[in-house]
Amino acid sequence: MAGKQETKTTQGAGGELHQQAGGGTKEPVLTTDQGIPVSDNQNSLKSGARGPTLLEDFVLREKIFHFDHERIPERIVHARGSAAHGFFEVYEPLASLTKADLFQRKGERTPVFVRFSTVAGGAGSVDTPRDVRGFAVKFYTKTGNWDLVGNNIPVFFIQDAMKFPDLVHAVKMEADSGFPQAASAHDTFWDWASLMPESTHMLMWAMSDRTLPRSFRMMEGFGVHTFKLVNEKGKETFVKFHWKPKLGLQSTVWEETLKLQAADNDYHRRDLREAIDAKNFPEWELGIQTFDQAFADKQPYDVLDATKLIPEEQIPVRRIGRLVLDRNPDNHFAENEQVAFCPANIVPGIDFSNDPLLQGRLFSYLDTQKSRLGTANFHQLPINAPKCPMANFQRDGQMQMRVPTGRANYEPNSLASQGEEGGPRESPVGFATAPGRSDRDEQGDKLRVRPELFADHFSQARMFWKSLTDNERAHLASAFVFELAKVNLDNVQARMVGRLRNVDEGLAKRVADGLGIALPAKLRAAKEPIEMKPSPALSIQKNMLATLKGRKVGLLFAEGSNGGEIDRMAKQVEKAGGTVFLVAPKLHGTKLDNGKELKADGQLAASPSQLFDAVAIILSAKGTQLLLKEGAAVQFVMDAFGHLKAIGHSEAARPLLDKAGVVPDEGVTGLTAAFLDAAAKRFFAREPSVRTLA
């Protein structure tokens, strides 16, 4: 973290407080909405360094309260969602671990409602940006609703809920311009991220292919936080929750996802709905990692730190049940939009840990859902307004009567050093809680601090990098280059790359080379990272399933195509568990070699190859000559090859492949059994020949 500037506080003629930074500039003092100066806007008030967050923390409560009411009527984050009904079936009784009723009887099924979502974009954005995906499950148990509200990534950007408004302000559309939508590749996000070393591990995941999922059906889910299981005897066991997809992990590649946004804005939503309609019910297994305090005390990281995970090689994930989604919503608004998830919704046998990020969520979610149509700006009415200066980064909301200027609505920020408005700063004379003891003296004084191990921001980020394949590392480094290339603020690129040197020197050099800048000085780590063993479970490519189940093959045909070959290929793909989508230049009227007409499922220009996991091209010599003049046909083949997919083709189609620049490799086959094997894979060895990666 950057060091704080020396400050001097002065009083204006009207009694207002101003904080003068070392550079001689005057900045307003950071206050609450009631004008009370704030001394620490980084850490929530706790009973001891690792104790629970205290409800009396009015600075935290007001900050998150205001933040929760900023967007009307959609959710502040996770606005764009897709959902389905289903059930959870437990494999075996877990009475030794928990008294939770849903885990007591083998084979018992509990109804569920599941919502998947993107984080940064609005409700009207697209399905396929580079973004974290929400994975929220509501269990309708016999003893009440249990909401397991998580993401498709096991860690998070921040360690303390106090920083959540700043994270979202930074990644959302910039305050002065209103863009970009659903993207982190811009100034304010990377300005904030480069000043927040604790975000490094999450940034590694965010820049990896984990944020480019092929389908909701093919991504993992995580509870993120450490929770507790409690049995009838009161014994507590720490637990982390995992969702493991039965179809295995699968992602897209960057160029493919860009074209998917143009081809189908609702790609993931449509994929989920169509799979359920076709009775190909999506399925996951619920897994748990359980451990006690003795294990936690031995680790080089703090298990209550949401920026850390427990490697599966250290504690294997125990599969305890399955989740099946078998019914689509009847009404999008009534079910998907109105469902209210809250991590505070738990049932007997499940409990919270003192994770400070989780503690803040327990307040925030309920407050958000209850007040999505209300206002947080009542303090601006004259009767409620403070008579002293009021300045903070809370923004927007219904009945906003101010007109804030500039784009600084988050902190820390370095905008003031760029000649822009930087906003208010913490004050040494701000409110500070007296260090009184709690009822349980052994928990210590009330403190705004973090445990020492929370300062290790890079060890697990390094472990994640070491766990990836060379190809995944190239994707990750290239993603950093793409995002940072969008940043126009001076010093942010160098600051971020300097931070990455704490993760891996090779990664930092690749990103610097991709940006065309000199390798900057390494930024000092608050706590030096340690070497951890690679965790193969963190890699998508190491965990992909070579299967056609759940995959879709696009079959391109035209005038004179071999009808028998088309029928044979379709049957073989379906026998292997996949589906075939017929593509032709025209929907109707295409005659095959046997004189019969075959209706296509999609017209060529509207059905690009990025919609499919593999393509089969069954053309006659005449059909090939016609398609050589069709730009959409050439692009269909070119994209399939560029997106590392299998291409099966008739011999007559070879000229079309040549024109599309296809170089034969093991993923380019004839219409044989070899194609069925290839169609279940991606061919990452091809990538260096089709694009330049960092």
- For residues 658 and 384, give the distance between their C-alpha atoms in angstroms, rounded to a whole number: 73
The full DSSP string for 280-323 is ---EEEEEEEEE-HHHHHHSSS-TT-TT----TTTSPPEEEEEE
The full DSSP string for 652-673 is GGHHHHHHTTPPP-TTEE-SSH
Q: Which of 41, 43, 69, 151 is catalytic?
A: 151
Torsion (CA) 664, 665, 667, 668 in degrees, nearest 10:
20
84 SS3 class: strand
The DSSP symbol for 195 reads T
Q: Look up 151 and say whether it is catalytic.
A: yes
The full DSSP string for 549-613 is TT-EEEEE--TT--HHHHHHHHHHHHHTT-EEEEEESSSS-EE-TTS-EE--SEEGGGS-GGGSS
In 79-235 the beta strands, taken as DSSP E runs, fall at 81-90, 109-118, 133-141, 144-151, 221-222, 227-230
Q: Which of 66, 69, 78, 457 is catalytic?
A: 78
Tokens (6 digits) for 526: 């608050």
The DSSP symbol for 223 reads -
Tokens (6 digits) for 617: 């091209």
110 SS3 class: strand
- Say how many residues make up the chain: 694
626 SS3 class: helix
Tokens (6 digits) for 10: 């002065």
Backbone angles phi, psi at 474, to 5 degrees: -65, -40
CB 159 within 8 A of CB 307: yes
State the maximum Cα–Cα separation within the chain, in Å, rounded to a whole number: 94
The residue type found at 281 is F
CB 209 within 8 A of CB 218: no
CB 85 within 8 A of CB 329: yes
Backbone angles phi, psi at 139, to 5 degrees: -95, 120
- For residues 54 and 354, give the distance between their C-alpha atoms in angstroms, rounded to a whole number: 11
> Could you tell me which of 32, 92, 19, 89 has the C-alpha nearest to residue 60?
32
Q: Look up 201 and say whether it is catalytic.
A: no
Tokens (6 digits) for 420: 């822009």
Give residues with Cβ within 8 angstroms of 97, minimum separation 6. 103, 229, 231, 237, 239, 290
- For residues 362 and 569, give the distance between their C-alpha atoms in angstroms, rounded to a whole number: 53
CB 154 within 8 A of CB 172: no
- For residues 159 and 157, give the distance between their C-alpha atoms in angstroms, rounded to a whole number: 7
Residue 556: beta bridge partners? 583, 617
Residue whose entry in the numeric block shows the structure tokens 């969602």: 81
- For residues 98 and 104, give the distance between their C-alpha atoms in angstroms, rounded to a whole number: 8
Instruction: Please write down the HEC assignment for all residues of 45-59.
Output: CEECCCCCECCCCHH
CB 393 within 8 A of CB 165: yes
Q: Which residues are known to be catalytic?
A: 78, 151
